Structure formats: C-alpha cells, structure tokens
Amino acid sequence: MSMKSKNVLYFTQREEEFADLLTKIGIKRNVSKVLVYLANTPEATSRDIERGTDLRQPEVSIAMAAMMEQKWVESRENKAENKGRPVKIYKLALPIIEIMDNIERNKRAEANNQMKMIKQLRDYIEE
C-alpha cells in the first residue's frame, strides 16, 4: 500500500473539543492536537499529521519532541519510494487512556505542590 493513497484524518467537532480541553488543562496546543490526531489513527507520517491537525511542520516537530520526552509516542522509518529521505512514521506508544492517566497524575502532583506553597504563604502571613 502506498502512503499517498491513504486517507488523511481530519478533526471532527468532538476531536476539536477534546484537543481544546487538553489545552485548557495546560497541555500545549500543538501537543494536544497531535495527541488527539494519533489517538484516532494507528500510525501517521508528519505530513499526514500536519494536514490533519492544520499545524505547520515546525509545530509538529516541537510537539513530537515533547511527546517523545513523555514517552507518549514512538517512531519508525519507512524507506521512501523515490530514494529521498526515509519517511518517519509515528504512533502512540501507549493507549490514550494510559496517557490520560499520566496527565492526571501530573496534574494532581502539580495541584498538591501549589497547595503546599499556599500553605507556606499562609505561614508567612500568620507569623
């Protein structure tokens, strides 16, 4: 199967809302969009992701780097038919539900940290 014939996924209203919610809880916008895109397709090239998410190539690269760091995404190379550079193909490294668990843990830790700092601030006021 050639990559060119593959259907590119585009965001539905529901996927837009999912990405917006992720952004509202503090996930970077381009990471949110790429995450939602990859949650809905087994694998995709950067080009597919750019088209489907309406992000530019540098935005997709930055999102990928952030997601790789979190170990949310993995890639493999596919030799290009036209002897050009190999094409990178991306997919989620974990099921989306596990990524959501990961996000939730991080947000809980963040909130707990903030509450500790507020308590410290109150200690200053009460001295």
Domains and CATH numbers, the chain: 6-94 (1.10.10.10)
Q: Please list the pLDDT of the chain residue by residue as tens digits (127 residues).
A: 333 435 667 788 899 999 999 999 999 999 999 999 999 999 999 999 999 999 999 999 999 999 999 999 999 998 777 777 888 899 999 999 999 999 999 999 999 999 999 999 999 998 7
Query: Which pLDDT does position 102 carry in this prediction?
Result: 95
Tokens describing residue 76? 């493999």
Are 42 and 90 within 8 A, CB to CB? Answer: no
Are 81 and 2 within 8 A, CB to CB? Answer: yes
Residues counted in the chain: 127
- pTM beyond 0.85, yes or no: no
Query: Which pLDDT does position 3 carry in this prediction?
Result: 36
Are 24 and 66 within 8 A, CB to CB? Answer: no
Query: Which pLDDT does position 1 carry in this prediction?
Result: 33
